[in-house]
Amino acid sequence: MRTRPLKVALLGCGVVGSEVARIMTTHADDLAARIGAPVELAGVAVRRPSKVRAGIDPSLVTTDATALVKRGDIDVVVEVIGGIEPARSLITTAFEHGASVVSANKALLAQDGAALHAAAEEHGKDLYYEAAVAGAIPLIRPLRESLAGDKINRVMGIVNGTTNFILDKMDSTGAGYQEALDEATALGYAEADPTADVEGFDAAAKAAILAGIAFHTRVRLDDVYREGMTEVTAADFRSAKEMGCTIKLLAICERSKDGASVTARVHPAMIPLSHPLASVRGAYNAVFVESDAAGQLMFYGPGAGGSPTASAVLGDLVAVCRNRLNGATGPGESAYAALTVSPMGEVVTRYHISLDVADKPGVLAQVATVFAEHGVSIDTVRQQGRPDGDGEASLVVVTHRASDASLTGTVEALRKLDTVRGVASIMRVEGE
């Protein structure tokens, strides 16, 4: 074994960074044996230097992250500060000064992955980011390496633990969205400002990364259709149950039937209780992958938290250090397929539409005609009169597969009918 250590600079020492430092120290011998050389924490860049950090030598702590990545003797920079800047500049500077990079930064990778990969390649360095998607769950490496000989057709996952916790609560207790969110906040699952999670931004960044790798095509955050889950109601869960389904916030990356294009989207959807993703409870994540040769695979585990995310960071650190010792680099960006990334209108799926309609003769026929005029075939219709006898009824229409554009046209036309008093909810139905 080489005795000269590989030097690691840690950018950020919060929930994840402090766990990375702890594991590097407590598992130092094992890491050295697995890599073939010791790894040494050579510097830790933080915002608040006065904070006491157990197990970290205070002499390693600096507020000057730029100087740390410019040192020239750093082998690997571990970036766990998140956000776009200064993370992007620090990573680029790290490559320029001879270091490889391990990052957990989904927002940055989803927005600027192509440019960062290009910078890594230009300088002959590695850029690894297993921790950017679904915490501890191995996903990037299986998609990039284990399935490199297969053809992936679909990646569908629960990649946000906060929203899965909320939806699971609504499902199991009948609670409304706000009540479930309040509980998630009280238990520390949801942040004080939960927007990034509940509006689907976090999941959309992860979808962009997964789609890019799965389909060997550049998919940016802007290419991902996004709908949050704040409008999901207890009534939606009751409807889902009547269909033998539950509701999940799904990230879905799909290859089109003709193979020429792909789509990526995040939205709440009904899935059958028999689907493996339906059984993902609490704050857990899971990703269901469908490919030509392997068939169906499911990756499951904790998608957030200091220690699970640090596990993924450490795995990348070992891989990057091994590459470094071998004078090699691992796989970089693979975007050779350059498939068209299609807009949401071209997505084809099934829909569950709940309408409030006038309860009088001919209404059902009127509604059915609107669906027919837009080429959307109805699978089932269920009408329920209201016990209060207010002359209105609830009409639930479940469609066969149709394009999102056709469904949007159908709903616009339905809203114009006098007899349709309101469109209570529209939910896609997936996983059948």
Residue list 291-350, contact with ligand HSE (CB under 6 A): 303-304
Structure tokens at 413: 């036309």
Distance of CA 30 to the CA centre of its chain: 31
- Beta-carbon neighbour count of residue 141 at 10 Å? 18
| 188 known member of a binding site | no
Our finding on whether 100 is near ligand HSE (CB under 6 A) is no
Q: What are phi and psi of 51, to 5 degrees?
A: -65, 135
Residue among 190 and 427 whose Cβ is closer to ligand HSE: 190
Residue among 105 and 291 whose Cβ is closer to ligand HSE: 105
| 18 known member of a binding site | yes
Query: Catalytic residue positions?
Result: 206
Distance of CA 342 to the CA centre of its chain: 19
Our finding on whether 162 is near ligand HSE (CB under 6 A) is yes
Residue list 200-259, contact with ligand HSE (CB under 6 A): 202
Q: By CB under 6 A, name the one of 103, 153, 160, 311 that touches ligand HSE.
A: 160
Q: In this structure, are residues 150 and 144 in contact, taking their beta carbons and an 8 Å threshold?
A: no
Our finding on whether 161 is near ligand HSE (CB under 6 A) is yes
| 295 known member of a binding site | no
Our finding on whether 431 is near ligand HSE (CB under 6 A) is no
Q: In this structure, are residues 207 and 250 in contact, taking their beta carbons and an 8 Å threshold?
A: no
Give the closest residue to 428 by CA, choosing from 219, 254, 172, 206: 254
Q: In this structure, are residues 6 and 35 in contact, taking their beta carbons and an 8 Å threshold?
A: yes
Give the binding-site size for ligand HSE (rule: CB under 6 A). 7
| 191 known member of a binding site | yes
Tell the smallest beta-carbon distance from residue 298 to ligand HSE (Å). Answer: 17
Q: In this structure, are residues 236 and 266 in contact, taking their beta carbons and an 8 Å threshold?
A: no
Residue list 175-204, contact with ligand HSE (CB under 6 A): 197, 202
| 13 known member of a binding site | yes
Stretch that binds ligand HSE, among 59-67, 158-166, 377-385, 424-432 (CB under 6 A): 158-166
Calpha distance 411→319 (Å, rounded): 51
Q: In this structure, are residues 341 and 256 in contact, taking their beta carbons and an 8 Å threshold?
A: no
Tell the smallest beta-carbon distance from residue 293 to ligand HSE (Å). Answer: 30
Contact string 106-145 vs ligand HSE (x = CB under 6 A): ----------------------------------------
Q: In this structure, are residues 155 and 287 in contact, taking their beta carbons and an 8 Å threshold?
A: yes
List Cβ neighbours of 150 (8 Å cut-off, separation of 6 or more).
291, 292, 293, 294
Binding site listing? 11-18, 106, 191
Residues at the contact surface with ligand HSE, assessed by CB under 6 A: 160-162, 197, 202, 303-304
Binding site listing for NADPH? 106
